[in-house]
Amino acid sequence: MDPSVKPTTWVIVVDNPKRWHFAIPEVPVISARNYLTMAEYAERRKLRVMNLCRSYAYQDTGYYVSLLAEARGHRPVPSVATIQDFKAPTVLRAMSSDLVPVIRHALRTLQSSSFTLSIYFGRNMAQRYEVLCRKLSSLFPAPLIRAHFHREDDGDWYLSNISPIAMKDIPESHRDFVVEAARDYFLRRPSATKRREPSRFDLAMLVDTQDKTPPSNETALRRFEKAGEKMGIRVTRIDRDDYGDIAEYDGLFIRTTTSVEHYTYRFARKAEAEQMAVIDDSLSILRCTNKVYLQEVLARHHIPGPKTLIVHKDNLEKVVEQIGLPMILKQPDSSFSLGVVKVRTPDEFMEKTRALLEGSDLLIAQEFMPTDFDWRIGVIDGEVFYACRYWMARDHWQIYNHGAKSKTETGGNVDCVPLDQVPPEVIQCAARAAALMGKSLYGVDLKEVNGRPIVIEVNDNPSIDAGIEDQLLQEIIYDRVMTSFLRRMEKRRRL
């Protein structure tokens, strides 16, 4: 072994080491039977398990290796979640949607109508497929996978199937390359190079530098990192390309705009499958980002809200009569005031509604309730921990005016208010609304109308910006979020 290479905590698990023909001196090879039955392995901590059993079928030995590895707190590759993803066509379609431009570029010179790509530890023997291999390995983290593509009538290539490769199915001529790729994988993993000093926990913070309306600005992100450091939590920023490395962390903190039809939801689902501490969790994303669901739940539990009607193509003639004018129309997945319009006349209602219904079968119509400001109440783990007043943008009816001519006019002023100075009924109403969504991090938006709190919406990914939401609490707001992660990760470690 190269003396400059630090020993890893990897083990390779195979059905029968005597039939193992891929020598990688740096990593020990053990049998699946020994891994599953010997106390030596059951009691190990921080072990990484490369599961190279010949089958991952349900209740086969390979399946149990990954299952028990997760139960022991080890980090298996592939995880049980990945094994299940191989079997789910809907997951395949959802994940591969982000890959269309990459697939198109990688396969652009092929003349055939189908193509199969073998990926060995994230690589292929042909250099031109490097980016595609890396992306697929990130979405489906497994050592050996085979992806099948087909060309449709529109001329574009699509991923039709992806599955594990058994060692016996690797051609003899590929074996030297497989060993090279494996050594590179084990000795140059991000976890071996990025993490320098030990920490109690490692938290991945998912950010997107291209997000036009990020929930936290750069200074806030640094303050989250600092707050974590004080508690022994190393906060590492990741992006959408780091999907395959999620299992390397103890928790996931999503700090980019969320949506169900988005990679953020897949990250949350993946992290939950790995039994990590997650904010925003997938259920909160599902519940909060769809205004149709949100309004139904709030109404069913008698949370006060504006007069609301679910709009579809068959009830257009009744909406104006029931809601009145002016009114507010919302796309189900609107956020940051985007996808929200105000209509003043019947003709404008029909024009805007028909345009919005082209993108969704259902819309939300709400009565217009003008106020000088909206309350934003921050809730985490069921507890209210900050309150802000968001004043309306200049000469506008919303707190954001995306059509403003200058950035200074895009948003209204914000002032933070001590909790003991917030009307108790506002605090109570916000806490009740958040409790219906779960016990994660939420921002509840309310109006006060004639002294009565009215819930407008519950946000699963509330803004926490330096200089805005933290202007009163300062570092306490970041400490509170990191404390929640610390509790969750400690609880997970005790299980």
Using CA atoms, how far residue 188 sits from 126, 194, 361, 470, in Å, is 20, 10, 48, 39
Kindly tell me if the per-residue pLDDT of 19 is higher than 90.
Answer: no
Token pair of 116, please? 């199969």
How far is Cα 391 from Cα 371, in angstroms, rounded to an integer? 9
Residues 489 and 274 sit within 8 Å (Cβ to Cβ):
no
Question: What is the average pLDDT value for the chain, to the nearest integer?
Answer: 87
Q: What is the dihedral of CA 84, 174, 134, 163, to 10 degrees?
A: -20
Residue 405 or residue 195, greater confidence: 405
Phi, psi dihedrals of residue 381, rounded to the nearest 5°:
55, 35
SS3 call for 371: coil
Kindly tell me if the per-residue pLDDT of 46 is higher than 80.
Answer: no
Q: What is the CATH number of domain 307-368?
A: 3.30.1490.20
Token pair of 153, please? 């009538």
pLDDT at 402: 57
Q: What average pLDDT score do residues 443-467 get?
A: 95
Longest dimension (CA), the chain: 79
pLDDT band at 408 (very low <50, low <70, confident <90, very high): low
Task: Tell me how many degrees the CA angle 248-253-256 measures, rounded to the nearest 5.
Answer: 120
Q: Where are the domains of the chain?
A: 10-191, 197-283, 293-304+370-459, 307-368
Q: What is the CATH number of domain 293-304+370-459?
A: 3.30.470.20
How far is Cα 447 from Cα 466, in angstroms, rounded to an integer? 24
| 3-state percent breakdown (helix, strand, coil) of the chain, nearest 5 | 40, 25, 35
Q: What percentage of the chain exceeds 70 in pLDDT?
A: 91
How far is Cα 192 from Cα 479, in angstroms, rounded to an integer? 28
Please provide the DSSP assignment of 171-189 as one string: -GGGHHHHHHHHHHHHHS-
pLDDT band at 194 (very low <50, low <70, confident <90, very high): very low
Residues 433 and 407 sit within 8 Å (Cβ to Cβ):
no
pLDDT at 74: 87
Q: What is the dihedral of CA 352, 294, 325, 451, to 10 degrees?
A: -150
Sheet with 233-238, edge to edge strand ranges: 233-238, 201-206, 251-254, 277-279
Kindly tell me if the per-residue pLDDT of 195 is higher than 60.
Answer: no
How far is Cα 27 from Cα 168, in angstroms, rounded to an integer? 20
pLDDT band at 410 (very low <50, low <70, confident <90, very high): low
Q: What is the CATH number of domain 197-283?
A: 3.40.50.2300
